[in-house]
């Protein structure tokens, strides 16, 4: 994984310190049915928030935000149904509860998904394609320009990733690959990323999400 230079690290620390007081001890759930939830919890704890694994509807109570991690979207969707999480999650999203979905999590937030035989939550007005980069480039890493978090570029780790094929009017596409492909988007309090920020040492996107949680962005 690419290391950031010392100058970059300082800028990131300053950025992190700005929101840290406000976000301290916020309660963030990480959907823990399948996939990369442990990594998200570890990263959130480095930002001084409380991170909880979520499996049951009642565990959603009292949270300030939720992360839906990467993994296998069809499996997560099936388990969400089995655990009766679909209705409460749809209701929370409608009420403006902050949710960040990464990779499979992005797929689950989307209104339409090509090549998926289970229903996503459908709470964000984006259409995504699963495993969109094809077999040859199953997984890759690339630096992403994300103006909302400033410089330096964010190191994007893409693993059998989706991309955005359509974004509705209320959706801000926050980052694109050099060919214009949308890989990060925000709509209201929902943030969808096609890649895996929890697999890097860069806290800026989790920090950005926390600033949404406290209403600073
Ligand atoms: N390919 C997976 C899916 O379609 C997503 C991969 C990931 O989350 N890393 O669900």
* Tens digit of each residue's pLDDT, the chain (217 residues): 444 444 454 455 555 555 667 888 899 999 999 999 999 999 999 999 999 999 999 999 999 999 999 999 999 999 999 999 999 999 999 999 999 999 999 999 999 998 777 789 999 999 999 999 886 678 999 999 999 999 999 999 999 999 999 999 999 999 999 999 999 999 999 999 999 999 999 999 999 999 999 998 8
Asked whether residue 186 is assigned to any structural domain, the reply reads: yes
Asked whether residue 61 is assigned to any structural domain, the reply reads: yes
Quick check: pTM over 0.75? yes
Q: Which atom of ligand 1 is least distant from the CA of 104? A: 8
Asked whether residue 169 is assigned to any structural domain, the reply reads: yes
Q: Which of 39, 40, 198, 206 is catalytic?
A: 198
Ligand 1 pocket: which of 130, 137, 200 to mutate (most atoms <8 Å of CB)?
A: 130
Instruction: Kindly report the backbone phi and psi dihedral angles of residue 139, in degrees, each rounded to the nearest multiple of 5, phi listed first.
Output: -135, 140
Asked whether residue 1 is assigned to any structural domain, the reply reads: no
Beta bridge partners, 28, equal 51, 65
Using alpha carbons only, give the angle 92, 126, 214 rounded to the nearest 5 degrees.
40
Cβ-proximal residues to 190 (8 Å cutoff; 6+ apart), any chain: 93, 98, 99, 100, 101, 109, 123, 124
Asked whether residue 184 is assigned to any structural domain, the reply reads: yes
Helix (H) or strand (E) holding 117: none
Beta bridge partners, 187, equal 190
Count of structural domains, the chain: 1
Give the CATH number of the domain where residue 42 resides.
Answer: 3.40.50.880
> Residues with beta carbon inside 6 Å of ligand 1?
70-73, 103-104, 107, 130-131, 159-160
Q: Tokens standing for 88? A: 């409460």
Helix (H) or strand (E) holding 94: helix 86-94
Range of the structural domain that residue 191 is part of: 6-213
Asked whether residue 48 is assigned to any structural domain, the reply reads: yes
Q: Look up 141 and say whether it is catalytic.
A: no
């Amino acid at each position: 994984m690419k290391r950031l230079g010392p100058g970059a690290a300082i800028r990131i620390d300053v950025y992190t310190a700005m929101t840290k007081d406000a976000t301290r001890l916020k309660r963030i759930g990480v959907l823990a049915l399948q996939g990369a939830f442990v990594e998200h919890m570890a990263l959130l704890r480095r930002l001084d928030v409380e991170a909880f694994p979520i499996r049951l509807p009642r565990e959603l109570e009292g949270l300030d935000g939720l992360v839906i991690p990467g993994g296998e979207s069809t499996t997560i969707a099936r388990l969400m149904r089995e655990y009766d999480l679909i209705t409460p999650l749809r209701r929370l999203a409608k009420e403006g509860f902050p949710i960040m979905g990464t990779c499979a999590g992005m797929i689950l937030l989307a209104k339409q998904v090509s090549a998926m035989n289970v229903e996503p939550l459908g709470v964000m007005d984006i259409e995504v394609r699963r495993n969109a980069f094809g077999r040859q480039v199953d997984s890759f890493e690339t630096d992403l320009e994300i103006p909302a978090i400033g410089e330096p570029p964010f190191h994007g780790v893409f693993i059998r990733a989706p991309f955005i094929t359509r974004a509705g009017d209320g959706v801000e596409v926050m980052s694109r690959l050099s060919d214009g492909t949308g890989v990060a988007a925000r709509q209201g309090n929902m943030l969808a990323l096609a890649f895996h920020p929890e697999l890097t040492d860069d806290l800026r996107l989790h920090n950005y999400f926390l600033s949404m949680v406290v209403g600073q962005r």
